[in-house]
Amino acid sequence: MKIEIDGLTKHIPGTGDFISIDNNKCNNCGRCILVCLVNLWFRKDDKIYISEDYKEKCLECAACYQVCDANAIKFQYPAGGTGIIYEKG
């Protein structure tokens, strides 16, 4: 990814995959869907999935991981400097 700050271009490494779901473990409870503030999780054909663009939208709160009693969600924080950036204003 590239961002421009004060006329300078800075290259930022991508986050890589940091969330995944094992549908063999998932019990389809839907808790991940309920707790995700940005609606990244969805149910289709009686399975739960995460949106393909989650890397750009995820708040990295790990709420989905915390509520998954089936241990079907694997979560790790992205490498330092690659995740979400909060700006004020």
The structural domains of the chain, ordered by start, are 14-75 (3.30.70.20)
Q: Is the pLDDT confidence value at 68 over 70?
A: yes
3-state secondary structure of 11: strand
Q: Using the Cα atoms of residue 19, residue 24, residue 29 and residue 30 in order, give the sign of their dihedral.
A: positive
- For 15, 25, 48, 85, the CA distances from 70, given in Å and listed in that order, are 25, 6, 13, 30
Continuous H helices in 30-79: 31-35, 54-57, 63-67
Can you tell me which residue has the tokens 């399975």? 47
pTM (two decimals): 0.75
Mean pLDDT of the region 62-71: 96
Spatial separation of the C-alpha atoms in residues 38 and 28, rounded to whole Å: 19
